[in-house]
Structure 1
Amino acid sequence: MHLKVTVYSTPSCPWCRKAKQYFKSLGIPFKDIDVSKNQKKAEEMYRKSGQMGVPVITIGNQVIVGFDKAKIDKILGI
C-alpha cells in the first residue's frame, strides 16, 4: 500500500521539520510544499484543512493538522 504523502510547511516551523524527519526515518517519500512561497498552495492547504497553521499533512485523502504522530501511524498502519 503506497499512499501519497504531502507536507504543507514553512522553513521556520519546527513541527514541520519534525514531521519531515519522521517520514524520512520511516523511508516514506513525501512532497514538501513551502506555503510561505506559494500562495496557491497555501490556499489549497486552507481548503483541505480549514487551517492556516502548519504543518498540514495529507496522507491519501486523510488530512492531519499538526504533527500528530499517533494519527500518522494509524493511517499508515504502523
Structure 2
Amino acid sequence: MNDSKLHIRLFTKSYCGWCHEAIDWLRGKGLAFEELEVLSNPAAMEELKDLTGKTMTPTIEVNGDILADFGVDELEPWWQKHGFDR
C-alpha cells in the first residue's frame, strides 16, 4: 500500500520505552505519522479510551485498524497481516 494512502496515528506517553521504539520503527520505514502524546493532551487520552477502552500505550491506528499496548516485535507481523507494505 502506498504511504500516501496510509493514515497513521500513534498514541504515546513520553516515558514509554515501547512508544519510543514504535516511533523509531515508523521513522525507519520512512512513514509519515501523527503522534498523540496522551499525558499532555487530554483530548487524545479520551480518544484513546474511546478507541480501546484502555489508556495503554503505544497504540497505533492505521486506516481504522488498531493495535493496542504492543511491542515492536508485535508491530511488524501486525503490519504485514494488514497488508500495509503493499
- TM-score where L is the length of structure 1: 0.90
Q: 2:42 matched to 1:39? A: yes
Structure 2 counterpart of 1:25: 28
Equivalent AA in structure 2 for residue 47 of structure 1: D
Structure showing greater Rg? 2
1:49 to partner: Cα distance: 1.3
Matches within 5 A, 1:66-77: 66-67=70-71, 68-69=74-75, 70-75=77-82, 76-77=84-85
What does the per-residue CA deviation read over 1:14-67, in whole Å, with 9 as the maximum and x for residues that have no partner? 110111111101111000111010111101011111221101100001011123
> Number of paired residues?
78
RMSD of aligned alpha carbons: 1.3
**Which 4+ stretches in 1 moved above 4 angstroms?**
none
Equivalent AA in structure 1 for residue 63 of structure 2: G
Equivalent AA in structure 2 for residue 74 of structure 1: K
